[in-house]
């Protein structure tokens, strides 16, 4: 039985799957980005995460509990989520400015990255998303190698921070 407090997040998770089937992964990704940016607008300027040197990290993804509940409820991650992640990975291979792309460990990373980027933009900062992992996908780290290089840190530095949390990023003051 779905708890009343979980109904709306569960509806979003089901809606993501249905939207992929209706309009495909590209439009679904655009929709997730739009949601993330709109959520950021409601919160205003700000920088997320705990600082660790000149990097920031999150102990938990604010959306991951809902993904885990959803998987527990349905027994596995929907195939549509895999299609979204494959689409994002393929798009990034073709992106000439890949440094701006998110590291995507789960479909929710897309929305969360858009949220974090927009809030930072409103605060006059750019965001480099270096790495993340998700309990929903086995905690396997996903890296943006170009962003790590641009941040001027090593993958080992990122890994040591990633051991503490689920997401590592760097904010850079816009010129």
Cα–Cα distance for residue pair 155/103, rounded to 1 Å: 13
* pLDDT at position 8: 77
Q: Both tokens of residue 31?
A: 């929709």
| 115 within 8 A of 61, measured Cβ to Cβ | no
Cα–Cα distance for residue pair 24/106, rounded to 1 Å: 17
Q: What is the DSSP string of 23-65?
A: H-HHHHHHHHHHHHHHHHHHH-S---SEEETTEEEESS-TTHH
* pLDDT at position 41: 97
Total count of domains within the chain: 1
**Residue ranges, the chain, pLDDT below 70:** 1-6, 92-100
* pLDDT at position 149: 92
Strands of the chain, DSSP E: 50-52, 55-58, 125-132, 142-143, 167-173
Cα 153 to chain centroid distance, Å, stands at 20
Angle between helices 7-23 and 64-74 (to 10 degrees): 80
Domain range for 19 is: 4-173
Q: What is the pLDDT of residues 67-118, one digit of tens each?
A: 777 777 777 777 888 898 888 877 766 665 655 677 788 888 889 999 999 9
Cα–Cα distance for residue pair 158/71, rounded to 1 Å: 28
SS3 of 166, please? coil
pTM: 0.87
* pLDDT at position 167: 93
Q: What is the CATH number of the domain that holds 44?
A: 3.30.1380
First-to-last alpha carbon distance for the chain, in angstroms, is 51
């Amino acid at each position: 039985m779905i708890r009343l407090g979980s109904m709306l997040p569960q509806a979003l998770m089901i809606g993501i799957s249905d939207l992929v089937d209706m309009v495909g992964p590209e439009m679904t990704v655009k929709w997730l980005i739009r949601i993330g940016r709109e959520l950021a607008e409601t919160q205003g300027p700000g920088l997320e995460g705990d600082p660790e040197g000149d990097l920031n990290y999150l102990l938990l993804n604010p959306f991951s509990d809902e993904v885990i509940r959803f998987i527990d409820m349905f027994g596995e991650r929907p195939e549509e989520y895999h299609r979204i992640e494959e689409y994002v990975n393929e798009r990034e291979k073709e992106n000439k400015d890949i440094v701006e792309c998110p590291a995507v460990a789960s479909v929710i990373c897309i929305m969360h990255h858009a949220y974090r980027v927009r809030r930072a933009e409103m605060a006059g900062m750019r965001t480099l998303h270096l790495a993340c992992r998700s309990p929903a996908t086995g905690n396997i780290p996903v890296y943006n190698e170009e962003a790590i290089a641009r941040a001027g840190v090593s993958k080992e530095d990122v890994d040591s921070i990633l051991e503490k949390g689920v997401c590592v990023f760097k904010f850079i003051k816009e010129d």
